Amino acid sequence: MKKLKINYLLIGIVTLLLAVALWPSIPWFGKAENRIAAIQERGELRVSTLNSPLIYSDINGKIIGLDYELAQQFADYLGVTLDPDAAVEIPAVEKQTAAIKERKRILFVLSTQGGKILAAGSDSAADGIIKLAGAVNAVEGFSGYKSMTDEAIATARPDVILTMKNAGPPISKDELFANPAVASTPAGVARKVIVMDGGYLLGFGPRTAEAIHDLAVSLYGNQVTD
């Protein structure tokens, strides 16, 4: 299986999202420096995660997945070992959209700063969550997060724009749809945008199954089965 790649140009953003995801999984007490010191004194970073090829999976004794890679980098930075708890399964969530015939094309926009659309390609956390929710990443041709040309945006023809809140500078809907390339797409014509909390959407922690379900319902409504 192809190992997921990480866009190191955006490692700061990803690390921030990881910290948000890890927050409820670690027994935090006291000041920030004391919390880090407690982990280092214990010598172990304990993280709750999910069993999925995109997130955390043991393939013939080799552990892969974006959640694992990010957590391992954080543990290495702290100088401790990683103890992932991968007890949560998500196949049931994926089955909720199995019967849907027409899959929505999603354009995940990370930023619109400077008038440039920074979007998620393959091998990214956003690409993973889109697929788990039963949709299709409208972006093709690159991995990670990159700026898109107007032509590429028009060619992608997304049905829905997906963005985050509480994860960096907010994205203005008016500014987003003022972009001529975005406005020309089906999502732009319908002004269809879904905004979800960044840590909840891309944290890939214990609540990921809920986030996948919520995204699927936002996309497909009552077509999503329980």
CATH number of the domain within which 62 lies: 3.40.190.10
- Indicate whether 207 and 106 sit together in one domain: yes
CATH code, domain with 192:
3.40.50.1980
Collapsing DSSP to helix, strand or coil, 64 comes out as strand
**Among the three residues 90, 125, 157, which one is the final residue of a domain in this structure?**
90
Assess whether 181 and 203 both reside in one domain.
yes
Q: What is the dihedral of CA 14, 141, 193, 113, to 10 degrees?
A: 60
Asked whether the beta carbons of 74 and 15 are under 8 A apart, the reply is: yes
Structural domain for 174, as ranges: 95-223
**How many domains does the chain divide into?**
2
Taking alpha carbons only, the member of 112, 134, 183 closest to residue 154 is 183
* pLDDT digits (tens), the chain, 226 positions: 444 444 544 555 555 555 555 555 444 444 556 778 888 888 888 776 666 666 676 667 777 777 778 888 888 988 998 887 654 456 677 788 888 999 999 999 999 988 889 999 988 889 989 998 999 999 998 988 999 999 999 999 999 999 999 887 888 888 899 999 999 999 999 999 999 999 889 877 677 888 899 999 999 998 988 7
Residues 6 and 59 sit within 8 Å (Cβ to Cβ): no
Tell me whether residue 1 is in a domain. Answer: no
**Predicted TM-score of the model (pTM):** 0.64
